[in-house]
Structures are given as structure tokens and as C-alpha cells.
Amino acid sequence: MTGRIVVVGDTLLDRDVEGVVNRLCPDSPVPVLDENNSVDRPGGAGLAALFAVGRGYEVALVTALADDEGGARLSHLLTAAGVQVYGLPLPGATPEKIRLRTRGRVLLRHDRGGPAGPPGEPSEAVFDLLAGAAGILVSDYGRGVARLPALRTALAGTAAPIVWDPHPRGPAAVPGVRLATPNEVEARELAGVATGGSRLVGAARSAQTLRQRWRVGAVVVTMGGEGALLCHAGSTPLVVPPPTCADGDTCGAGDRFAAAATVALADGALVSEAVQQAVTEASGYVANGGVAGAVPAAPARGATARTGAGPASGGPGAAPGAPRPTTAPTPAPTAGPTPVPTAGLTAGPTPGRPAPDGPVPAAPGGGAGAVGRTGAVGRNRPGAAQQLDTVPITAVDWSDRIGPRAAGEVVARVRAAGGTVVATGGCFDLLHAGHVATLEAARQLGDCLVVCVNSDDSVAGLKGPDRPLVRHADRARLLAALGCVDAVVVFDESTPHAALAWLRPDIWVKGGDYGTGADGPDLPEAEIMHRWGGHTVVVPYLDGRSTTEMIAAARAGSRPVGRTR
């Protein structure tokens, strides 16, 4: 690999003081930390640079360093880790963040170093470095490096892919950046989007606002344990769920995400591929204990660990695959207009949406205390449930999870609790791991998942007379058996539009390849979803899993699709 990964931004000195708390202070009601040891690490842009080391590229860091003991300490730690440091003069003291920790938890953070002073100008060597970079990460911590006019001009003129990790106190990204990576709070603040409502909708609005305002190629909003949401120029965002759900130390996870995305883009990955790789790495980073497990620590200046006393055990890092923490449901969009006229749609009320003439009785078995199979409880919504007399959906079974009545009751319960209804659809002929990955990702986006399945006649019209291989009654039964599916309905039309007009979900999810074009996909369902304020999103395909390929492999007697060597 040629070129370097260049990280530009503000570096801080991070110190973790680990100890044990066994008592309260006698003169004030605060815990007393008996220190066992303390360690120093580079923070901010310095930490991002460390995460890029060992990935096949030389790594250089352009940052401001003070002429004091802290600045010398940072320079030593970075150089020892293999980072080439291009220092800019920094007036004042080195910024430090000191965390007092016990049992893997932070008790208190103490910041020192004072307000940021204006850093000095970069040298010609820095400009040459940027011009020849394979990939550039701007790690802005709001202390002035990203504001330097000469640096911004050089960044705007480089051909290398740039990832911009912004800060609310920092400047806008330079035009032409390949990917901006704010977290959820930063994105809302930078975009001026009000809090409240659906997290997913707020993240999408923030990302699109920033993408247009900054004139960047794409914006990805990181959402902690919910993964990330990527917006290109198209109207349909890509939602990338984490492969594992872990409760652990998230300090540095954003830096890990940005560094991973930068390296992936330098390797030639599409933006969507880079985001998926970054989500995987950031999730694994948290699951494995965060910065303590990822970056070798150096004892703090003058620190000596006590004999026989190491860091307290019992940290919160959860094993991969730990269940997602239960959260209160996010409010659903306000009920849309009167039912959408759709060809072949039988007139009648829609589940979980108020009828035009006012409230209607609750659905059988419904109530505010149940949401699908989650058991979550939210605010009541008057007139949320509907009578289900006739619907434009094939009645396969009247079990508790299959058929229009089951779907209507689940939707009504979620609406009554103020939750978010998610729907997805497809043929699901020969159910495979790719289908399951899409369904699991969709279920994470709301409080229930309704799956719309093409009937046998519909599949034959779309795929040909030799399909489906599995009848729709059996396909529905298989889907209903999955823990991530709350209800299944079967439709006869070639598209799910009539089913969507009846269900009126808040979010419609499709699995797809987001990276085939620069603008991303515009799903045909997006237009009808917009009529009642719903949203469409894409989740990534699981590579190497395809019903068509499975059928071809079976007929040819070749290796099974997705089988590892």
C-alpha cells in the first residue's frame, strides 16, 4: 500500500486513575477512591491515529502540541506507538482529561489545561503530507486545528478520501469531504434539528441537512448500540445495525469508527462498505472493553502501581451477542391523511390509525400494556385501534401471528403504547441467513415487525412459473416462528403497496446493495410511505446469501451458498 493515513486534529492527554471505593468521605457525602494505578494515553485525534496504526499504512498525525511536560509526554507516547507526529505550536498548557474509575465505571472526569489557544501555522512538510495521503481523517475536538485556513485550503484541494469527525464547537467540514461522522447528539446540534420524536427520523433529517449544508458526499450518524445511519444524495438512508450488542465503556468508540472508515476508504471501499466495516469494528471495540483493551497503556508520569493491587475487576463489558437493552418506545409519526386510494384496495379502516370520523373501539385483545412481544409500555393514543372487517390481504391463517387480524392487533397495541411500527416484505422463498439478518436488523428499528409476504401467484408473476418452491402458507409459518417477527401477512399483488396502505407502518425496511451508485437507492415504496409521514430505509445484504444462487447450486450439485471452506 502506498501513501499514508493522515490524521488532522486536536490531541489531548487522557489519564485513567483506577482504584477501589469502599467508603464515603467523613466530611462530605462523596465516595473516596483509593488509587491502585494510573495510566496515560493520547486522546482525541491522537487516539484516532493509534487506531489507524497496524492497518497496512504508515500513520501521520498533524496536531498542536504545547511546549510543556504534557506535550512532551504525548509526543513520546505517539512516537513509541509508530505514529509520525507533525506538531504545530500550541500556546498555553496541554489539555488533559483525567477520569477517576472503579470497577470499569467512571466516577468523575476532571479537565484541565484551560481554554484552547490558536495553534500555529503548518509547515510545507504538512502540505506535502496531505497532498500524498492515501486517506485523511479530520478529528475535530473543537480546539482550533480544524479551523486553520491554510489547512482547510489544503484539505479542500487533496484527491485523497477525507473523513470528517466534527465537533459542535468546531467549523463545518470542507466541501468535497467523502464522509462526515457525527454522533447522534452532535448531528442534531450541528443541524439545528429539535430533539424528540423518533431517533431514526431525527438522525436522517440531521444527516441530510448537514450533507446539503456542508456539500459533502455522505453523512453517517453513529447511534451507539443502535448502529449507524448513512445518508447519501438519495432519499433512502442505509441503517447498519451492530453485529453484537454490548454494554461497556464507549469512550473512544467514535474515534475507532472514524479511523476504521478512513482506512477502508483508503483501501478503495465504497462509502457504504466503509460504514459497515466501521460499525463492526466499533461494536467489537466496546464489547472487548473499550480503550483499555484496545490501546496499550503507559503508567502515568511518576505513577507506581501498588504491590498486589491491579485494576478492580467486574467491568461492564458484555460478551458478544448480549441482548439489546430494553428502552422505551419512541413516538410514532402523527397519523397521516385519510386512507390512500390504491388499486385493488378494499375500502375500510386501517390498523392503528384514527379513522377520519374519530376514535373507534380497541382491537380484540389489545391494550396499552402490551406492545407486540416486547412488553414495553408507552403513552396511550386515542383512537389507535381499528375494527378489521375486510382487508386487501390473503388470509392464510388466523393464528396469533399470521394473517391480517394478527397483524392488525399487533399494530394497534404498538400504536396505543406510542411505539413505532416497522414493516418489511419479500418473497422469502427458501428462507436463508440473509433473510434472517435483514429481519433482525429491521426489528431493531421499532417496537414490532410485520412481514408482508408475496403470495404464490405473486411470486410466480415476478420470478417465473417454476417459483415459488415453498408455498406461501409454509413461508408465512417459517417467518412467524422467528423471534424477531411479530406478525406475517400475505398479499396477492406484484407490489406491497396495497398492504402498506392498509398497515401504514412508520418505517418500511428493505435489504439491498446500497453501494452500486453514488446517490444510493430510491425505493418504489418511498412515495406511498411519504403520504402518511412514514419513512423508508435500507439495511445491508448479508454477502453470499441468495435464493436464486441456492437454487442454481442445488440443481448443479455444487457447494451450498454461504458455506465456508
Together in a domain, 362 and 276: no
pLDDT value, residue 558 = 65
AA letter at 70: G
Together in a domain, 284 and 404: no
Among 297, 313, 343, the domain-final residue is 297
Domain range spanning residue 367? 326-565
Together in a domain, 336 and 285: no
Q: Is 384 helix (H, G, I), strand (E, B) or coil?
A: coil
Together in a domain, 238 and 344: no
pLDDT, tens digit, for every residue of 186-198? 999 999 988 777 7
456 among known catalytic residues: no
- Nearest alpha-carbon partner for 209 in 244, 161, 173: 173
E-state strands within 257-367: 298-299
- For the chain, the residue count is 565
28 assigned to some structural domain: no
307 assigned to some structural domain: no
Together in a domain, 411 and 474: yes
Residue 388 sits in a domain of what CATH number? 3.40.50.620
385 assigned to some structural domain: yes
Residue 249 sits in a domain of what CATH number? 3.40.1190.20
Q: Which residue has the cell 442445488?
A: 554
Q: Is 563 helix (H, G, I), strand (E, B) or coil?
A: coil
pTM for this entry: 0.74
188 assigned to some structural domain: yes
C-alpha cell at 542: 448479508
Q: CA-CA distances (angstroms) from residue 463 to 370, 393, 446?
A: 39, 20, 31
**Which 8-state DSSP code applies to residue 125?**
H
Q: CA-CA distances (angstroms) from residue 416 to 7, 253, 449?
A: 49, 36, 16
| Sign of the C-alpha dihedral computed for residues 45, 49, 50 and 55 taken in this order | positive
pLDDT, tens digit, for every residue of 161-187? 999 999 999 999 999 999 999 999 999
Spatial contact of 207 and 220, defined as CB atoms under 8 Å apart: yes
* Three-class secondary structure assignment of 213-233: HHCCCCEEEECHHHCEEEECC
Out of 10, 140, 255, 486, pick the active-site residue.
255
pLDDT value, residue 386 = 38
Per the structure, the count of domains in the chain is 2
Vertex 237: Cα angle to 509 and 276 (nearest 5): 90
Together in a domain, 555 and 444: yes
- Nearest alpha-carbon partner for 51 in 264, 209, 245, 215: 264
d(CA 503, CA 176): 41
Together in a domain, 386 and 289: no
d(CA 332, CA 269): 35
Together in a domain, 292 and 330: no
d(CA 417, CA 374): 11
347 assigned to some structural domain: yes
- Nearest alpha-carbon partner for 360 in 372, 347, 349: 349
Together in a domain, 104 and 162: yes
Together in a domain, 95 and 135: yes
314 assigned to some structural domain: no
- pLDDT per residue of the chain (565 residues) written in tens, 0 to 9: 678 999 999 999 999 999 999 999 999 999 999 999 999 999 999 999 999 998 989 999 999 999 999 999 999 999 999 999 999 999 999 999 999 999 878 899 999 988 878 999 999 999 999 999 999 999 999 999 999 999 999 999 999 999 999 999 999 999 999 999 999 999 999 999 887 777 888 999 999 999 999 999 999 999 988 899 999 877 789 999 888 776 777 889 999 999 999 999 999 999 999 999 999 999 999 988 888 777 766 676 655 433 333 333 333 333 333 333 333 333 333 333 333 333 333 333 344 443 333 332 333 333 333 333 333 323 333 333 333 344 566 654 446 899 999 999 999 999 999 899 999 999 998 888 889 989 999 998 999 999 999 999 999 999 889 889 899 999 999 999 999 999 999 999 999 999 999 999 999 999 875 544 444 556 788 889 989 989 999 998 766 566 666 667 677 776 655 544 3
Q: Is 283 helix (H, G, I), strand (E, B) or coil?
A: helix
d(CA 547, CA 222): 32
Together in a domain, 514 and 393: yes
- Nearest alpha-carbon partner for 372 in 351, 355, 390: 351
d(CA 285, CA 243): 12
Among 248, 277, 297, the domain-final residue is 297
E-state strands within 159-245: 162-165, 179-180, 219-222, 228-231, 238-240
Together in a domain, 266 and 410: no
d(CA 223, CA 418): 21
